[in-house]
Amino acid sequence: MIDELDVIADLNAEDDDGLGWSTLTDARHPDRVKPGAMLFAGNEAAKAVVRVVAVDDDGQIHFAVLPGSVAKNRHLLDGTTA
């Protein structure tokens, strides 16, 4: 299931604004990581559907973890998953 992830991220790591973060180098398809995109993110310990809030010039991705299970939110990935 780790191979299905759009972005590898530690879902417990937060930036100064309380958002999750990762980097474009950890994205399977960096060109699809844009503000508003819904992505499948996480690592072996935890996975979630996230909404990209911003992508910095240095390649840092800021995202909000959607509440609820992956099963509940998977439909949001249709057409936007990498």
**Domain presence at residue 20:** yes
**Domain presence at residue 69:** yes
| Average pLDDT per 10 consecutive residues for the chain, totaling 82 residues | 86 95 97 96 96 97 96 83 44
C-alpha atoms less than 13 angstroms from C-alpha of 4 in its C-beta half-sphere? 10
**Domain presence at residue 56:** yes
pTM of the model: 0.89
Domain that holds residue 63: 2-77
Q: Which residues are registered as beta bridge partners of 39?
A: 50
Kindly report the CATH number assigned to the domain that includes residue 59: 2.40.240
pLDDT of residue 82: 44
pLDDT of residue 20: 97
